[in-house]
Structure 1
């Protein structure tokens, strides 16, 4: 589902970078830390860490070699590296990191509780574990909500594929329970909302043709006539500004806590 950074960027990568920057800023980490970015993808969170947290080192891990290559090409340097690995068995020793973070990933992991436990394992006592996911369930990711509302109106199959149905973890309470269950102390949750402005309808629709992610994969599965019907329904229902732009917002739920001492 996720394979090429070049297709991910125009779909949600451009908005993920906005969330990542605010997410890292809110953690208010001391400089000089050693960070792990779990499910690093194209490197949005790692980039934000380098820009805002003054780390000694940040290492990203992702199961997709193509994403790791993309991140290395754009970010690797003396303080950053990226490796291929599994969130359920992180290739890092116990207790060496000061922070383990993950953005927009845990809803795609088959065992989120195990992934959270792995993040706790790799940080030392007092270390931070922090995650964020798009708000699918309450409609805060408006570009995706509009897509599935249109798809479900035209096709019964779409209901089971809707991220709001598929990803119950993507909510404030489930994320709190996930991190508390992993043994973290002082778990807090929050939300980050960013503007998502599309130049025009083509800027909105084009990324859905890239085949990456649940909604683009659904579009790729449609016969051409059904795809055109969905496109025109969206064209008719999305709000337009006077200049033809489409101005929406995207909300992410955040959660973070600390590994207890001892």
Structure 2
């Protein structure tokens, strides 16, 4: 199957597809960090600003800057930004900031989409002061992200060539040991990796299926490339495979792996 570039440009479509779940994980992540309040934070690969907002409000940051290469995402993030948050369009893998400018650099659900994640984490480490925090989280695509696991299992059953696009296969980084190695390799100390799990409850099959039609991200990008017949076959395979409750709701869970370390 032809390789496709992942599309991340439309804030509203992203919110329907992933944003509602990424906000839940962002809250748990900031609680897990337990960072001191009042610091200077940078959110690398901020997307539509879910983590930036949580850092500003629940992390009580004095200032938090969100950086993302998607102008559409940055525009969406600015619309509902807390007073302490600001956003710029830029490369999360090569931050345009001075050495030691921040108390913490964090990244939510972005690291595996960067072309050089090792170089990115090294840049993040350089952007914090000595003793500063560098932390991130990524979805457990291989096993713990249930709604995507259901999607790709159904897609491969209908079209075996879809296996090449499965994020569980594409992103081996999104597991505890590779994350630990990445953080240690950037010279960070006191490295800890932990799971974060949140509920993903869909009101019914349309609530599950329709966000896959908006083209934002690998799975929706795959759906967008299908002809009408193949798309219908995938839809019905998913409908048959999902655990639907008596009220029509589809109750699943999503797990992310979180990692943190400090600059010596």
TM tier, shorter chain? over 0.9
Structure 1 Cα separation of the partners of residues 171 and 32 of structure 2: 25
Candidates 222, 225, 231, aligned match of 1:227: 231
Tell whether the 8 Å contact from 2:137 to 2:259 is kept in structure 1 after alignment.
yes
Question: What do the CA deviations read for 1:174-215 (whole angstroms, capped 9, x no partner)?
Answer: 111110100000100001000000000000000000101000
Residue 127 of structure 2 corresponds to residue 122 of structure 1: yes
- CA apart distance, 1:29: 1.0
Question: 1:84 aligns to what?
Answer: 89
- Where 2:231 maps in the other structure, the secondary structure is helix
Residue 7 of structure 2 corresponds to residue 7 of structure 1: no
Gaps of 5+ in 1: none
Structure 2 Cα separation of the partners of residues 149 and 118 of structure 1: 36
Structure 1 Cα separation of the partners of residues 231 and 113 of structure 2: 25
Structure 1 Cα separation of the partners of residues 91 and 198 of structure 2: 29
Question: 1:26 aligns to what?
Answer: 32
Counterparts of 1:126-141 in structure 2 under 5 Å?
126-137=131-142, 139-141=143-145
Question: 2:262 aligns to what?
Answer: 258
Tell whether the 8 Å contact from 2:158 to 2:237 is kept in structure 1 after alignment.
no
Question: What do the CA deviations read for 1:99-156 (whole angstroms, capped 9, x no partner)?
Answer: 000010011000000100110011000000001000012x100000000000001112
Gaps of 5+ in 2: 1-6
Tell whether the 8 Å contact from 1:193 to 1:252 is kept in structure 2 after alignment.
yes
Candidates 175, 183, 187, aligned match of 1:171: 175
- CA apart distance, 1:163: 0.3
TM-score normalised per structure 1? 0.97
Number of aligned residue pairs: give it. Answer: 258
Structure 1 Cα separation of the partners of residues 249 and 259 of structure 2: 32
Tell whether the 8 Å contact from 1:76 to 1:82 is kept in structure 2 after alignment.
no
Residue 151 of structure 2 corresponds to residue 160 of structure 1: no
Residue 76 of structure 2 corresponds to residue 73 of structure 1: no
Tell whether the 8 Å contact from 2:53 to 2:82 is kept in structure 1 after alignment.
no
Structure 2 Cα separation of the partners of residues 164 and 26 of structure 1: 25
Structure 2 Cα separation of the partners of residues 123 and 54 of structure 1: 18
Tell whether the 8 Å contact from 1:35 to 1:99 is kept in structure 2 after alignment.
yes
Runs of 4+ aligned structure 1 residues displaced above 4 Å come to: none
TM-score normalised per structure 2? 0.96
Question: What do the CA deviations read for 1:23-67 (whole angstroms, capped 9, x no partner)?
Answer: 011111111100000000000111110121111100000000111
Structure 1 Cα separation of the partners of residues 175 and 57 of structure 2: 28
